[in-house]
Amino acid sequence: MNPMPQLEPMLKQLRLSGILNSLEPRNRQAVEDKLAYTEFLALLIQDEIARREQRKLAMRMRRAGFQSQKTFESFDFSFNPSINRAQALDLATCRFMEEKANILIAGPCGTGKSHLAQALGHSAIRRGYDVAFVSFSKMLQQLQAARGVGGYDRKLQYLATVDLLVIDDFGLKPLSMNQDEDFHDVVAERYEQRATVITSNLDFDEWGEAFQNKLLGAATVDRLRHGAYRVILNGKSYRTPREENSTCVTRG
C-alpha cells in the first residue's frame, strides 16, 4: 500500500512538507541499507533541519541588502602579500560580535574596504546573526524619510537592534545638523549593545571633521572608537592594474 496520499496532507498540516522531497530517496536508502525505523526517521529529520537552516540563511542574506556577493572566499589576499590574512580571518570568526565591538575600516578608494565589510557581514549571517548593510548616505536618507511620515522611532529601533549594522562610506559628504543628530542616535543606541562595521575614505583622525556639530561629533566618534578594531587599508586600488598595497589592523 502506498502511504503517500495519506502522508502528504498530514505533513503539510504539520508544516513538514519539505520532507516529501527526501522521503523517496531516504526510503530507498533505508531498504537497501536495512536501516532501523529510528535511523530512517533520524535521516528525514536531519534533512528537514538542513532545509530549514538553508531557508533561514537565504532569508537573512536577502534582508541584509548586500550590494554583491563579497565574501572572504572571494577576497584576493594574494593581491597584496602584506595583508594580515590571519588577522582578517580572525575577525571573520565574528568574535567581535560577542564582544559587541565595532570594526572601523579606513583607507583610500578601491583598497577593499567595502569588500571586507560585506565579507564580515556574510560571516555573521552564516553564524546565525541578522545583518543590515547600507551606505551611510542612504541610511541618513531613510531616517529623514521616516521622520517625514512619523516612522522615525521605528526605523531607529531597527537600526539600533539588528545584530550587525554595516555602514559603508561614512563621511563622503559633510553632514547637516539633522544628520549629525540622526547618526549620533544610531551610534548611541548601539553603543556597547551591538556590533557595528563602518568604512570610510577618511583617516581616523578626520572622522570628527565630517560633523557640523563638533561637540556631538566628538561624542559620536568617541563611542565608535571605544574598544573598536581599527583596520587601515593603504596602497593601490583593486580597480587599477595590480600593484602592491598594504594593510594593518589595530585595536583601541
Q: Residue 46: pLDDT above 70?
A: yes
Residue at grid coordinates 541499507? 33
**pLDDT class for 144, splitting at 50, 70, 90?**
very high
Residues 173-185, mean pLDDT to the nearest whole number: 90
pLDDT digits (tens, 9 = 90+) for 192-240: 999 999 999 999 999 999 999 999 999 999 999 999 999 888 755 666 5
Residue at grid coordinates 532545509? 51
**pLDDT class for 129, splitting at 50, 70, 90?**
very high
Look up the pTM and report it: 0.76
Predicted pLDDT of residue 252: 58
Nearest to 142 by CA among 163, 171, 167, 164: 167
Domains of the chain, each with CATH number or no CATH: 4-62 (no CATH), 65-251 (3.40.50.300)
Residue 84 CA to residue 80 CA, distance in Å, equals 9
Task: Print burial letters for 162-199: b (CB count within 10 Å at least 16), e (below 16).
Answer: bbbbbbbbbbeeebeeebbbbbbbbbeebbeebbbbbb
